[in-house]
Structure 1
Amino acid sequence: MTILYGMIDSGNCYKPRLLMAKLGIPFTNVEVSSHTGDTRKPDYVAKNPNAMVPLLELDDGRRLAESNAILLYLAEGTRLLPADKYERALAYQWLFFEQYSHEPYIAVRKALLTFPERARDATPERLAVTLERGNKALSVMNKHLAGSGFFAGEALSVADIALYAYTHTAEIGGFQLDAYPAVAAWLKRVEADPGHVPMEWLP
């Protein structure tokens, strides 16, 4: 059976769990926590030299790292990856945006404020930068969603799953989602899509 190595409290690890729940893909979840150093143990590093989660292990033993690459692999040939060439490129666009302009600020600010091992990095300067740039990312999302139901066309896709993972908990990091009404409405649309499961869900 497919194995997903990940952390229950990681948005990046939530992405493939949510997608597999929606598509009904059976898998085994193996908790590998960076908080306790599990990702740096030799047996795990042998599987993923980058020492990070999530990591997908296929039935035939092949492995795939990086959350958005895993989403693209699992969504191939399904409703969650647009067939239209342009809409598919839009999905890629937003996946790159999520990892470059969104996750490094919204996810990181939440981690700085909630994970004890990150507290020493939560300097006033770092918190200010992550707040400013995270709000910029939310503003970009809000502007797009003011004229579109989802991020890659008018149906849910991997782009929405990727962006939902950390956006839906952004308030824990101090972001005010009520300032972004189109984003708030989009979150509800994502949650209303069939097969939705919360972040704490495991198979």
Structure 2
Amino acid sequence: MDVDVRLAPASPPDAPEILPAVRVDANHFWMDVPRVGRFLVRNGREMIVEPCPGAPDGDVRAYLLGSAMGALLQQRGLLPLHASAVAVDGRAVAFIAPAGSGKSTIAMHLQHRGHRVICDDICAVEVADGVARLRPGLRNLKLWRASLGAIARTPTGWNRSSPTWTSTVFPSMRPPRIVSSISLRWCCSAGARNRRSRPCLVLKRWAH
């Protein structure tokens, strides 16, 4: 994926403000994150970052690879799901759920069973000829200390995802180069009941 990422003033574009400090149209995405910085994504090819003075690099990177990357994928015609995905029997299995529900933890456990992680947090889905395919993406799992403890691991030597957040980046195995199709699985948060949803509604709700 060819992307021009640079540090420069990220002035707001002439686009509708859909949320406070967030402007979006077909070719532009702009957001202003307090105490972190401004981010401008244009035409699916360009990402401009204007960090606030003193903003931790980890915080800037988290938003760049999160919301800004999701916008870039949408501008390129891909569907960015808020999910984690692993390869199982030649197919991509993606787990979708709210933050903190255990998507990355499930992916970690499946990795320890021999399944390769394809991506974590953002899964880029491409639909062509009636088939949904998942593109390999960022694979470092963002895990809480309790999740690491479940496999008797410690965060020593691994990086925190952000100085102001409490998750840890866990290195994953190299993913398969090609995944032919994708299967969705719903991860329920604590206390929620398992439920079935129409795939189109699930995809719309959990797009990044």
Q: What TM-score comes out, normalization by structure 2 length?
A: 0.27
- Give the structure with higher Rg (CA): 2
More helix by share: 1
More strand by share: 2
Q: What TM-score comes out, normalization by structure 1 length?
A: 0.27
